[in-house]
Chains A and B, each alone.
Chain A
Amino acid sequence: MTVVVVVVFVGAYILIATERIHRVAAALGGAAAMVVLGVVDAQVAFFSEETGVDWNVIFLLVGMMIIVSVLKQTGVFEFVAIWAAKRSRGRPFTVMVLLVVITAVASALLDNVTTVLLIAPVTLLVCDRLNVPPVPFLLAEVMASNIGGTATLIGDPPNIIIASRADLSFNDFLVNLAPIVVVEMIVFIGLCRVLFRSAFHYDEQRVAEVMELDEKEMVRDRGLLLRSGLVMLGVFAGFVGHSALHIEPSLVALLGAGVLVAVSDLEPEEFLEEVEWPTLVFFIGLFIMVGALVEVGIIESLGEVVTDAVGDQYFLAASVLLWGSALLSGIVDNIPYVATVAPLVQDLVATGDGAPQARALWWALALGADLGGNATAVGASANVVIIGIAARNGHPISFWTFTKYGLVVAFTTVLLAWPYLWLRYYAFA
C-alpha cells in the first residue's frame, strides 16, 4: 500500500509541476485516489491535526482574501502609487524605488498576487506618462513582492503553512525574517539600479505628465477608506498580539473580514471578488495528499532517515534546506513544495528539543522557498500574474527574459540569507 500511495503522490506532483492538467484537478485527483485506496477517511482528512486539512491555513487565506476585496474598493493602492510617482518628481529610478518599496510592504501585509494585481495597472499608467518601458518596473515589483512577502506570517502562502505546522506566531516571523528582508530589499534596490539601468531615461517634458495625474480621484469613498483603515489597524494589532490573546491568526483574519464587510456596505460579489476558490481547493487537495503520506508512515520513516543523517549538524541541514528549497521553488510552485516538506522539517526540529539551532530550520525553509520563487517565471504565482498583465498590455515578457533577471535576484537574496542564518542562529547562538 505504501508504494501505491507514493506512486499516486508523485504522479499528482508531476502533474502539478508540469501543468499537464490544471493543478487543482491534479491535487483533487490525488486526494480522491488516497480516499479510494482506503488510506484516507473523513476522520483522517477533516478532523485530524496530524493528517487532516489545515483549516487554520484555509480560513486565514479566506479572511485575508475578503479583506483584500474590500480594500480594493477603496482605491487606496492607486492613490498611494500615483502619490509616490509624483513625490519622485518623475525621476524613473526614484519612481521604481518607491513603487518597489510600496509593493514589498503591501505584500508583507496582504498577499503577493493581489498586491501585484493592484499595483501593475497604475505602474503601466505611470510608465506610459513617463514614456519609459514598463517591463523593468513590473519585474522589479513582482520580485519585491516575493521578497517583501517573506517578512511576515501572512505575506506568502508557504509562510502560512509553516506557521501552522510549526506553531509559530506572527511576531516570530516578524522578529526572525523581517530584519533580513529589510537588508534584502536594500540590496535588491541596488540590484535594480544595475539590472534595469537602461530603463531610467529622464525626459523633463514627460515629468509634467506625471505631475498632472490626480491621485485624489482614486478614492471615491473616503468614508469606506477611513473605516477600512481603522479595521486594518485592529487586524494587524490582532496579528501582533495573537499569542498573548490566545487567538489564532486565522480567527483574527476572519474577524477582521467580518467587521470590514459589516462596515463596508458592499454586495457579496464585491467582498468575495478576490476569494480565489481554486487556490483554496488546491490547498485542501494538497493537505489530504500529504496527510495520506503521514498516515501510511512514509513521512515518519523519511524523518528518521533525515534525522539520523543530520544528527546535530543543524547548520548543514539549514544550508541544504535553504539552497534546496530555493532551487526547487524555482522549478515548481513553492506551495506544494512546502506543504510536502513541512512535516519532515517538523520531525527534524522535534529532535532538537526546542533549541534555536533546530528551530532555525523553519526560517531556512521559509527563506529558501519564498526567495527561490523569484528565480523563474513559474517560481511563484505572482510571477505568472505579472507576465499575463504585461502581455495583455502589449509588453510581453518571455520566460527567459524573466529568468535572466530572476536568477540574479534569487541567487543574490538567498546568498544574503545564508550568512544571516549562520550568524544569527549558529555562530553566536
Chain B
Amino acid sequence: VRARDLAEPFPIVDLDTDAFDAARQMAERRSPGLVVGDEDGKPYTVLPGSQVLNFLIPEYIQKDTRLARALSEKASDELCHRLTTMTVRDMVPRPQDADDLPVVDGDATAIEMAAVMARVRSPLVAVVEDGRVQGVVTVSRLLDHLLDPHSSKTS
C-alpha cells in the first residue's frame, strides 16, 4: 500500500489561525496533531497535540507535577483561556529544515512513513503530491495497517 492509499482528508491550519480554534479542531477530530501550512498552502510543520499541551502547561508545573494538584478547576480553565489570545504561530516549534518535516510523497510505503514519523517524532505525516497536501496519515491509521496480518507492508 502507498501513502496516497492511506491518506485521509485533513484540515490544514495556517500560522495565523487562532490557537484556540486549532486546538478545538484537534479535539473534535480526536486528532493527534494538525498540519500547519504556509502562505502557499505548502506544509510548514506539524503541530502535535503534545506541543499544544506543552504550551498550555507552564514549565514549572511540568517539572513539578505535584503543583498541578493544587490548582482549582477555575485555575485550570484560566490556563486553557491563554489559547484565545494566541495564534498557531506562537505554539509551533521553530521553523525546521525540510528534512525534519513529516512529509512524504504519494508513493511512500508504510515503512517509509513510519520511518519519517519516528525520526521527527510526529504523530502524523502529510502526504504531498504536486506541491499540494492530499491528506494525512495518522500514527493510529498507520499502525492499524502495519499490524494487520493480511496487509502488505512495503508495497
User: Which residues from chain B contact A212 at a C-beta distance below 8 Å?
Assistant: 72, 74-75
Q: Give the contacting residue for B58; candidates A75, A124, A215, A217; CB below 8 A.
A: A124
> Does B63 lie within 8 Å of A125, measured CB to CB?
no
B69 and A214 contacting across the interface, CB-CB below 8 Å: yes
Provide the B36-63 mask, 1 if CB < 8 A to any CB of A, else 0: 0000000000000000000000111101
Shortest Cβ distance from residue A178 to the other chain B in the assembled complex, whole angstroms: 30
* Interface residues as binary, A359-391 with B (CB distance below 8 Å gives 1, 0 otherwise): 000000000000000000000000000000100
Q: Are B74 and A78 in contact, with the CB atoms below 8 A?
A: no
Q: How many A-B residue pairs have CB under 8 A?
A: 49
* Inter-subunit contact B63/A121 (CB<8 Å): yes
- The interface size of chain A toward B, counting residues with CB under 8 Å, comes to 21
Main secondary structure of the interface of A (DSSP, over half): helix
Give Cα A94–Cα B36 distance, bound, in whole angstroms: 46
Q: Determine the distance from Cα of A121 to Cα of B62 in the docked complex, in whole angstroms.
A: 10
Shortest beta-carbon distance, A393 to chain B, in Å?
Answer: 5
B69 and A218 contacting across the interface, CB-CB below 8 Å:
yes
- Measured between beta carbons, the chain B residues less than 8 angstroms from A213 are 70-72, 75
* A120 sits at the interface (CB 8 A): yes
Residues of B within 8 A of A218 (CB): 66-67, 69-70
A125 touches B74 (CB 8 A): no
A residues within 8 A CB of B60?
120-121, 124-125, 389, 393
A106-127: contact bitstring with B at CB < 8 Å (1 yes, 0 no)? 0000000000000011101100
Point out the residues of chain B lying under 8 angstroms from A220, CB to CB. Answer: 66
Contact B74 A217 (CB under 8 A): no
Known A78-B64, A129-B75, A209-B75; contact A215-B59, beta-carbon cutoff 8 A = no
- CA A124 to CA B63, docked complex, whole Å: 12
By the criterion CB–CB under 8 Å, are B70 and A214 in contact? Answer: yes
CB proximity of B125 to chain A, nearest CB, Å: 30
Contacts from B to A (Cβ < 8 Å): 58-61, 63-64, 66-67, 69-72, 74-75
Partner-B contacts on A (CB < 8 A): 75, 78, 82, 120-122, 124-125, 128-129, 209, 212-215, 217-218, 220, 389, 392-393
